[in-house]
Amino acid sequence: MNDLPTQPVSAARRARVVQEQAELVATTRVGAYQHLTLSSPGVAGLARPGQFVALAVGDESSGTLLRRSFSIHKVTPGPSSDGAGGTVEIVVSAVGAGTRWITSRQVHDRIDVVGPVGRAFPLPTAPVPCVLVGGGYGSAPLFWLAGELRERGCTVDIVLGAASEDRLFGVLEARRSCDGVTVTTDDGSAGVQGWVSDVLPDVIDRRGAGVVYACGPMGMLRAVSDVAAAHGAVAQVAVEEAMACGIGICMTCVMPVVGSDGLTRMVRSCVEGPVFRGDRVRWDAVTATGAVVPPDAVGAPRAVTR
């Protein structure tokens, strides 16, 4: 199952990115997070599950240099073929000045949006049992993905994990859109006490899953990738490496990934990712503060000998 056929997004479509002034049409508190709906027809007409948007922070008098990137929760295409009237939904955790500014926006405010950016989740070309794994609000893009998979005849189980019940996102929606739902929390306040990696082996084996899709903290993605490989499934993971520009220019989100030729290269999470095969990410070089360059990577500095 390590070479399960998938349907990639065409290079032409992946390269199409727009910038527009999106109107905030709805904002709702959901547990520890803010759920925002933006009128962004250009992005809505192009986006696929797994891609993200980069939002400018601040206005003319308070602008911040770096954008903030968020996975697309779902889109509603507009009535016309060019997506006119479409909306884009994101989920934001207000942890710093930038995200607090975004979550404080009011309905009818305008936000500068660039998107859709990045590589989408590849989809199976034939029906196959799938397991989706989300950590915290990292589960946001998985519900749109679940719908796409079920339209292709795939059975879909989802595992949602978080530190506590208020940090979970989408449990009720998961029960409506998936064939099976498992919830874990670190403190036991909801579902099974423990981590998603504790329950994942049983879910994979019970369904005979061939693909595991995951989005969440990097430590969780590493564990999910290890479990999937041990149980004969392909992991497709949307990484959460810190992104500064969000469009492939600044090179701050690079991480080591093994290519089809077996060589490790430092690639940009925002453009070549954020979705990678879990068994090709060099997790040994991913630290809590970011990725380091493995000594065997293409272009890595070599020790000078005299």
Position 9 scores a pLDDT of 44
- Separation CA 303–CA 306 (nearest Å): 10
The pLDDT of residue 10: 43
Task: Give the DSSP letter string of 106-146.
Answer: -TT-EEEEEEEESBPPPEESS---EEEEEEGGGGTTHHHHH
Which residues are documented as binding site?
A: 68-71, 98-99, 245, 250, 253, 270
**pLDDT reported for residue 39:** 96
Task: Please tell me the predicted confidence (pLDDT) of residue 81.
Answer: 54
At 191, the pLDDT band (50, 70, 90 cuts) reads very high
Q: With contact defined as beta carbons under 8 Å apart, do 124 and 145 qualify?
A: no
Eight-class DSSP state of 150: H
Contact 135, 157 (CB under 8 A): no
Which range has the worst mean pLDDT, 22-36, 154-168, 280-294?
A: 280-294
Binding-site residues for [2Fe-2S] cluster, in ranges, read: 245, 250, 253, 270
**pLDDT reading at 234 higher than 60:** yes
Question: In this predicted model, what pLDDT tens digit does every residue of 92-144 receive, in sequence order?
Answer: 999 999 999 999 999 999 999 999 999 999 999 999 999 999 999 999 999 99
CATH number for the domain harbouring residue 47: 2.40.30.10
pLDDT mean over 2-17: 50
In a domain, 5, yes or no: no
Residue owning tokens 């989802």:
158
| Interacting residues of 212 by C-beta distance below 8 A, sequence separation 6+ | 130, 131, 132, 133, 200, 204, 224, 227, 228, 233, 234, 235, 236, 278
Please give the average per-residue pLDDT across 43-70, as a whole number. Answer: 87
Are the C-beta atoms of 6 and 48 separated by less than 8 Å? no
**Any residues with CB less than 8 A from the CB of 298 and at least 6 apart, and which?**
263, 264, 265, 266
Q: Do 234 and 157 lie in a common domain?
A: yes
Average pLDDT over residues 181-189: 96
Inform me whether the pLDDT recorded for 8 exceeds 50: no
pLDDT at res. 104? 95
**255 CB-near residues (< 8 Å, 6+ apart):** 239, 241, 266, 267, 269, 273, 281, 282, 285, 286, 291
- Closest of 16, 35, 12, 32 to residue 24, by C-alpha: 35
* 55 inside domain: yes
Percent helix / strand / coil, the chain, rounded to 5? 25, 35, 40
Which SS3 state, helix, strand or coil, does residue 302 take?
Answer: coil
Residues of the domain holding 263: 129-291
12 pLDDT exceeds 70? no
Place of tokens 């933006």: 38
What's CA 34's distance to the chain center, in Å?
17
**Cβ–Cβ under 8 Å, residues 264 and 254:** no
pLDDT at 1 over 50: no
Q: Cα–Cα distance between 18 and 21 in angstroms, integer?
A: 10
Q: What is the mean pLDDT of residues 48-74?
A: 87
- Cβ 204 vs Cβ 233: under 8 Å: yes
CATH number at residue 138: 3.40.50.80
**Is 106 among the domain residues?**
yes
DSSP assignment, residue 180?
Answer: E
Place of tokens 């005979």: 208
Residue 11 has pLDDT above 80, yes or no: no
Q: Where are the beta strands (DSSP E) in 77-223?
A: 87-92, 110-117, 123-124, 130-135, 156-162, 180-185, 192-193, 211-215
**Domain shared by 29 and 150, yes or no:** no
Total number of domains in the chain: 2
Is residue 302 predicted with pLDDT exceeding 80? Answer: no
Q: Does residue 8 form part of some domain?
A: no
What does the pLDDT read at residue 261? 92
Q: Are 226 and 280 in contact (CB under 8 A)?
A: no
pLDDT band at 74 (very low <50, low <70, confident <90, very high): very high
Within this chain, do residues 106 and 137 fall inside the same structural domain, yes or no?
no
| 139 & 280 share domain | yes
Average pLDDT, the chain: 89
Q: Are residues 269 and 171 in the same domain?
A: yes
Compute the Cα dihedral for 48, 165, 206, 284 and give only its sign.
positive
pLDDT band at 7 (very low <50, low <70, confident <90, very high): very low
Task: Answer yes or no: is pLDDT of 5 > 90.
Answer: no
> Which residues fall in the annotated binding site for FAD?
68-71, 98-99
Residue 211: inside a domain: yes
The percentage of residues in the chain with a pLDDT greater than 90, rounded to a whole number, is 73
Average pLDDT value for residue range 225-253: 88
| Mean pLDDT, range 203-221, rounded to an integer | 95
Is residue 110 located within the same domain as residue 153?
Answer: no
- For residue 230, the model assigns a pLDDT of 96
Mean predicted confidence (pLDDT) in 51-77: 86
Per-residue confidence (pLDDT) for residue 145, from 0 to 100 = 97
Q: Residues 29-47: what's their mean pLDDT? A: 95
